Structure 1
Amino acid sequence: MKLAPKGLEPDRALRKILPRSLFGRTLLIVVLPLVLLEAVALQIFYGSHLDTLSRRLAGSVAGEIAFVLDQADQYPATRRQIYANAAYRFEFAFHFHPDATLRPRRLPHALGPVDTDLARALTAGLGRPFALVWHGPPGMVRVDVQVSNGVLTVDVPRKRLYIGALYIFFAWLGGSTVLLLGLAILFLRNQVRGIRRLALAAEAFGMGRDTGPIRPEGATEVRRAGTAFNRMQDRIRRFLAQRTAMLAGVSHDLRTPLTRLRLAIAMLPADVGDIAGMASDINEMERLVSLYLAFARGEGAEQPQQTDLALLIEEVAARTARGGAAITLDIAELPPVVLRPEAIRRALANLLDNAARHARQIGIAAAPEGERTVRVAIDDDGPGIPPERREQMFRPFESGSASGTGLGLAISRDIIAAHGGEIRLDDSPLGGLRVLITIPI
Structure 2
Amino acid sequence: MRLRLGPLQPERLIRKMLPRGLFGRSLLIVLVPMVVLQGVALQIFYGSHLDELSRRLAGAVAGEIGFMIDQIDRDPTRRTLVLQEADKHFTFRTVYLKNETLRHLPPPDAPGPVDTDLARALAQDVHRPFNVAWHTHPGILRVNIQMADGVMSVDVPRKRLFIGTLYIFLVWLIGSAVLLAALAALFLRTQVRGIRRLAEAAENFGMGRDHGPIRPEGAIEVRRAATAFNRMRERLRRFVSQRTTMLAGVSHDLRTPLTRLRLALAMQPSITPEDLQDMESDIADMERLIGIYLSFARGEGAEQALPTDLPDLLDDICATARRTGATINLSVADELTVTLRPEATRRAFTNLIDNARRHATQIWVSATRIGGSVQILIDDNGPGIPEQKRETLLKPFESDHPGGTGLGLSIARDIIIAHGGSILLLDRPGGGLRVVVELPG
TM-score (norm 2): 0.92
Q: Contact conserved, 1:334 with 1:368, CA < 8 A, in 2?
A: no
Taking the aligned partners of 2:395 and 2:370, their CA distance within structure 1 comes to 28
Q: Could you report, residue by residue, the CA deviation over 1:197-255 in whole angstroms, capped at 9, with x for unpaired residues?
A: 11111111111110111111111111111111110001001101111111222222223
CA distance change for structure 1 residues 430 and 172 in 2, over 3 Å: closer, same or farther? same
My pick for the range that moved more, 145-154 or 46-55, is 145-154
Q: Does 1:203 align with 2:215?
A: no
Q: Contact conserved, 2:208 with 2:303, CA < 8 A, in 1?
A: no
Taking the aligned partners of 2:116 and 2:224, their CA distance within structure 1 comes to 60
Q: Contact conserved, 1:143 with 1:153, CA < 8 A, in 2?
A: yes
How far the C-alpha of 1:118 sits from its partner, in A, is 1.8
Hey, what does 1:77 align to over in structure 2? 77
Hey, what does 1:406 align to over in structure 2? 406
One-letter code of the match for 2:200?
L
Q: Could you report, residue by residue, the CA deviation over 1:304-326 in whole angstroms, capped at 9, with x for unpaired residues?
A: 10011122122212222332222
Q: Residues 420-431 of structure 1 correspond to what in structure 2 (within 5 A)?
A: 420-431=420-431
Hey, what does 1:225 align to over in structure 2? 225
CA distance change for structure 1 residues 328 and 168 in 2, over 3 Å: closer, same or farther? same
Q: Contact conserved, 1:87 with 1:93, CA < 8 A, in 2?
A: yes
Hey, what does 2:321 align to over in structure 1? 320
Taking the aligned partners of 1:72 and 1:186, their CA distance within structure 2 comes to 66
Hey, what does 2:65 align to over in structure 1? 65
How far the C-alpha of 1:99 sits from its partner, in A, is 4.4
CA distance change for structure 1 residues 376 and 108 in 2, over 3 Å: closer, same or farther? farther
Taking the aligned partners of 1:359 and 1:15, their CA distance within structure 2 comes to 51
Q: Contact conserved, 1:107 with 1:131, CA < 8 A, in 2?
A: no
Q: Could you report, residue by residue, the CA deviation over 1:149-174 in whole angstroms, capped at 9, with x for unpaired residues?
A: 44433221222212342222212212
CA distance change for structure 1 residues 119 and 322 in 2, over 3 Å: closer, same or farther? farther
Hey, what does 1:115 align to over in structure 2? 115
Hey, what does 1:180 align to over in structure 2? 180
My pick for the range that moved more, 40-49 or 250-259, is 250-259
Hey, what does 2:279 align to over in structure 1? 278
Q: Does 1:290 align with 2:291?
A: yes
Hey, what does 1:157 align to over in structure 2? 157
Root mean square deviation, CA, Å: 2.4
Taking the aligned partners of 1:124 and 1:5, their CA distance within structure 2 comes to 54
Hey, what does 2:394 align to over in structure 1? 394
Taking the aligned partners of 1:343 and 1:99, their CA distance within structure 2 comes to 104
Q: Does 1:48 align with 2:66?
A: no
TM-score (norm 1): 0.92
User: How many residues were matched structurally?
Assistant: 438
One-letter code of the match for 2:406?
G
My pick for the range that moved more, 409-418 or 180-189, is 180-189
One-letter code of the match for 2:284?
N
Identity across aligned pairs (percent)? Answer: 61
Q: Contact conserved, 1:379 with 1:430, CA < 8 A, in 2?
A: no
One-letter code of the match for 2:291?
S
Hey, what does 1:94 align to over in structure 2? 94
Please state whether the residue corresponding to 1:203 is helix, strand or coil.
helix
Taking the aligned partners of 2:252 and 2:5, their CA distance within structure 1 comes to 63
CA distance change for structure 1 residues 5 and 89 in 2, over 3 Å: closer, same or farther? closer
One-letter code of the match for 1:389?
K
Which blocks of at least 5 consecutive residues in structure 1 are unaligned?
none
Taking the aligned partners of 2:151 and 2:434, their CA distance within structure 1 comes to 93
My pick for the range that moved more, 330-339 or 121-130, is 121-130
CA distance change for structure 1 residues 65 and 345 in 2, over 3 Å: closer, same or farther? same
One-letter code of the match for 1:274?
D
One-letter code of the match for 1:282?
I
Q: Does 1:15 align with 2:30?
A: no
Hey, what does 2:331 align to over in structure 1? 330
CA distance change for structure 1 residues 5 and 286 in 2, over 3 Å: closer, same or farther? farther
Q: Could you report, residue by residue, the CA deviation over 1:93-117 in whole angstroms, capped at 9, with x for unpaired residues?
A: 1133444454433234333221232
Q: Could you report, residue by residue, the CA deviation over 1:253-303 in whole angstroms, capped at 9, with x for unpaired residues?
A: 223333344445556669544333333222222221211111111004211
How far the C-alpha of 1:432 sits from its partner, in A, is 2.0
